[in-house]
Amino acid sequence: EICSSCNYNYGLVRENGISTGKCAKCPGQCHECTYSDYCTNCYDGTTLIKDEHGQPTGKCGSCPSNCEECDDINNCKECFSRFGPAVGKDGNATGECAPCPDNCYSCPEISTNCTVCFDFYGLVLDSNGISTGKCSECPDNCKECSENSAICTKCDSGYGFIGSDKNSTGQCAKCTKNCNICYDNFAICEQCEQGYGPVLNNGIKTGKCAPCPENCSECNDDHLYCDDCPRGTGKVLDENGDYTG
């Protein structure tokens, strides 16, 4: 019986350029071949080898080291994460992949120029505000500084920005006493610790915290008004049956 189409990973056997009607496994590193001696689609991490005229030979070869996708065994199109296109002494791409700078996650254009740093690191800028392609640690108590290693854009939990405008200094300081959250300004509390509540002035939060009333476990909106009493105690009502706080 003569076969006209083989199963996956197999191709027709040819003799003198003519199909024999039999099937054989595709060449090494190949997963698709119409004919068993000529690959049309190589496995990931490999590519079709080209001849001196740039024409495919039907054979597969490995991509350069640390390369995810290549269009030629000597030319990588996309390097693995934390690797980028290597550059020779002449300043031209070599077609190979090289490690990104220290503490760098992505350098897709050139291996010496980082575009995305690791968490808790940011890009180092020169005196003109242009990225140097290097990464450095964020300021103290800072969680994010991706665009500029000297300017924090998100402080650690329990810390807030120094100054009225978070972009004015880009530095972080510990929240004020008895304060849990103060992201925008370390001196203005946004959420007080358990057992403390915000101090109001004419109904407006001052950014300070003070103890809740006696025998009170929560006073989230006003330190003088209890929201929740601990077990074994209860809310005090006035002569009209209204809650006194």
76-117 pLDDT tens trace: 999 999 999 999 988 888 999 999 999 999 999 999 999 999
Structural contact between residues 212 and 218, judged by C-beta atoms closer than 8 angstroms: yes
**What is the pLDDT at residue 215?**
85
How many residues are there in the chain? 245
**What is the pLDDT at residue 108?**
94
Handedness of CA 160, 162, 164, 167 (dihedral sign): negative
pLDDT category at 124 given cuts 50, 70, 90 is very high
Q: Which two tokens stand for residue 221?
A: 């909106």
Beta strand pairing call for 191-192 and 142-144: unpaired
Predicted confidence (pLDDT) at residue 236 exceeds the cutoff of 80: no
On whether the pTM is more than 0.85, the answer is no
The residue with tokens 């090494």 is: 28
The residue with tokens 């119409």 is: 34
Strand partners, 125: 131
Strand boundaries in 82-130, DSSP class E = 83-87, 93-99, 104-106, 116-117, 121-125
Distance CA 208, CA 175 (A): 10
182-207 pLDDT tens trace: 988 999 999 999 999 999 999 899 99
Predicted confidence (pLDDT) at residue 221 exceeds the cutoff of 60: yes
Predicted confidence (pLDDT) at residue 225 exceeds the cutoff of 50: yes
**What is the pLDDT at residue 234?**
55
Structural contact between residues 27 and 34, judged by C-beta atoms closer than 8 angstroms: no
Continuous segment of H or E residues that includes residue 40: none
In the chain, what are the helix, strand and coil shares in percent, each to the nearest 5? 0, 45, 55
